[in-house]
Amino acid sequence: MSTILRTENLSHRYGSSWAIRDINLEIGQHGVIGLLGSNGAGKSTTMNIICGVLNQTQGNVYIDGTNIRKEPEKAKMSIGFLPQNPPVYTDLTVDEYLHYAAELRMVPDRQIKKAVEEAKEKCGIAHFSSRLVGNLSGGYRQRVGIAQAIIHKPRLVVMDEPTNGLDPNQLIEARKLIRDIATDHTVLLSSHILSEIHLLCKEVIMIEGGRIIFSDSMDAFNNYAQPNSLLVKMENPPPLQALHQISGVTKTEQVSEKQVRIFFTGDQSISERLIAASVQHEWRIREISLDKSLLDDIFKQLSSQSLQ
Average pLDDT, the chain: 89
Q: Each residue of 179-231: pLDDT tens digit?
A: 999 998 999 999 887 778 888 898 999 998 899 999 998 888 776 655 678 88
pLDDT of residue 145: 96
pLDDT of residue 32: 94
User: Rounded to the nearest 5°, which phi and psi values hold at 245?
Assistant: -80, -15
pLDDT of residue 107: 96
Cβ-contact 270, 295 below 8 angstroms:
no
Q: Show the domains of the chain with their CATH numbers.
A: 5-222 (3.40.50.300), 229-306 (3.30.70)
pLDDT of residue 284: 93
Q: What is the mean pLDDT of residues 282-295?
A: 78
What is the spatial distance between Cα 166 and Cα 170, in angstroms, rounded to a whole number? 6
What is the spatial distance between Cα 279 and Cα 34, in angstroms, rounded to a whole number? 29
The pTM of this model reads: 0.76
Whether the per-residue pLDDT at 106 is higher than 80: the answer is yes
3-class state of residue 55 by DSSP: coil
pLDDT of residue 164: 82
Residues above pLDDT 90, as percent of the chain: 64
pLDDT of residue 40: 87
Residues above pLDDT 70, as percent of the chain: 91
Cβ-contact 207, 15 below 8 angstroms:
no
Q: Each residue of 144-182: pLDDT tens digit?
A: 999 999 999 999 999 999 988 888 888 888 899 999 999
pLDDT of residue 176: 92
In this structure, the number of other CB atoms found within 10 A of the CB of residue 233 comes to 16
CA 244 from chain center: how many Å? 30
Count Cβ atoms within 10 A of the Cβ of residue 47 and give its class: 0-12 exposed, 13-18 middle, 19 or more buried: buried
Name the DSSP class of 209.
T
Cβ-contact 171, 272 below 8 angstroms:
no
Whether the per-residue pLDDT at 236 is higher than 60: the answer is yes
C-alpha dihedral (71, 77, 79, 85), degrees to nearest 10: 100
Q: What is the mean pLDDT of residues 26-35?
A: 89
